[in-house]
Each structure stands twice: as structure tokens, then as C-alpha cells.
Amino acid sequence: MDSFSSLSQEIKNYLPDLELYENEPMKEHCSFKIGGPARLFALPDSEEQLQKLCLFLRERGQKPLIIGKGTNLLVTDEPLDGFVIKISDKLSEVRKLGETGLFAQCGISLARLASEAAQLSLKGLEFAHGIPGCLGGAVYMNAGAYGGEMKDVVKAAVCLDEELNFNKLYDEELDFSYRHSAFTGTEKIILGCEMELNFGDEGEIKAKMRELSERRRVSQPLDKPSGGSTFKRPKDGYAAALIDECGLKGFSIGGAQVSEKHAGFVINRGNASFYDVIRLMEHIRETVLSRRGVELSPELRIIDKI
């Protein structure tokens, strides 16, 4: 029995109700449909179970990779010799706070969260309705679209801190900026968020969500596997426009291609490898830098090991 099989058995004895898998294909948990097997893969069903699991792993020298819906992840094709914890819709409670507030757990999808708010005649989350992914991932990177960002609505976040204690961050402590938060690049684990919204007309809110969803459908390659926007928006410009100006729409390496519909997306044509995408991203960055003098930074979270 190898060390991970032994660890798996220990966890099953310690947390018998935990949903735990060995050699789970990561491509099934990433919108890019790329990714090799994770040696161990768990889906906790409560915040307490998540904390117990993380403490157990820390005692054994394991540092897990935490993921949500995997909508901005690019994961290596090679086996991930480590432990992955997925924050799924098992953690998706949502409840009203006061007149115009909401609390939601981190595993809830943004689509469901925005719909729940609309049914309560609360506006402010319309921009998030069409963003794939879950609340935790959106707060982690301060996701945004169509003029809105998570920082506009999130007022507090409950988390496990670096010591794996329950903690709560408020307002300025969240340190929101463009595609960044206090959680970005840290070992803190987002558990849930408090949001402050505004009263609105339910019909108008839902109409706005439909409008933004249609704009997204028309302009983005939603029918192809991808990780969403490939690069962050550079200062004084847009990555998609720069890529298009360099004549890279439709350019491909292996199974990875710059979308012909929206140059800001690299898509998987069906058989793309991790390195196809990496090489294509490098080619895009080098071309834009040499022709436009702008250095693009990846918006994708790239995982090549745990």
C-alpha cells in the first residue's frame, strides 16, 4: 500500500461520511476539460467537515489544493501527486440578512445566487448571473463583468484562516482590487459571504439578467470548453482587442485555439493538452508584447503541481 492509499484509509476511518475518491480525473472538474488524475479528491459537505479534513491533512504534512467549480483553472495533464478539496454545491446555503442583505456559502453558483436575489427583489448581482463558477472563486479573484465586481456587493467574508481557525474579514480587510482580494495567493479558505444589495423590481432585475446573458451568448464561445477570459485587462486597453489587432483570432497550437468569436478566450477544440494551452498563451503574450508593447498577465489559475 502506497502512502496515499494509506492516507485514504486513515481519512475514511477518521471521517467516514466524507466523499473521497482516488485518482479522480481533474478534467471532469474544470471547464477547460483538461487535467490529469488527482491522487486524492474530497468533497466536504459542511464547514466543520472541511476544517477537520484540513487539520488532519496539515498534521500529516499535506497541503491540499482548494478548488470550486474550476471555471478559471488550467490543470496539468500529468497526475497530481497530492490532495484536492472541491468546494461544491454541498456548501450552498443562502439566507436573507435584514432588509437588503444576503448571506451565502461559498459553493453556491453565481447563477443561482443572482436568481435567489432577484426572487427577493434585490438588485446588485445582475452582472454575476452569467459568470460561471461559484461564489468562493468569484470572491477569491474579485470576479466581475459588465461594470460590476464582487467588491461592489460583498461586505464581509467568513473563512478558515492560515491557522485553520474560523475567522471573519470586513470591508477594507477584504483588500479588493482588480482580480484580487485578501484571499488571492494565500492559504485562507473562503466559507461564505455577507452581501449588501438594494431593493428593486423583480421583473426589471430578471430582464437585466436575461439581457446580459444574451450579450454573453452572442459574444463569447460558450459552446466550447475554456477557462473564461485568458488574460487580465491591461491598463488602458483590453486583452481581446490587442490579441485581435495582432491577427491572432483563430490561431491554434495543437488542440488549443484563440476563439474566432472572442479573442480574449483560448478554447479547447476537443483534444487540447495542458501544454498546447501553455504554448499558445506564451505565443500570444510574446506577439502582443513585440507588436503592441503591452505585457499580458494570465487571468487563468494555472496548476502544474500540488
Catalytic positions are 179, 229, 299
- Please state, in angstroms and rounded to a whole number, the distance separating the CA atoms of residues 275 and 283: 12
- Please state, in angstroms and rounded to a whole number, the distance separating the CA atoms of residues 256 and 236: 28
- C-alpha distances in Å from residue 112, one per residue of 76, 109, 128, 241, 296: 30, 5, 10, 31, 32
Taking Cα atoms as reference points, which of 145, 217, 128, 134 lies closest to residue 179?
145
Contact 228, 220 (CB under 8 A): no
Contact 115, 123 (CB under 8 A): no
Dihedral, CA of residue 280, residue 146, residue 87 and residue 35, to nearest 10: -10
Chain centroid to Cα 257, Å, comes to 21
Place of cell 477547460: 32
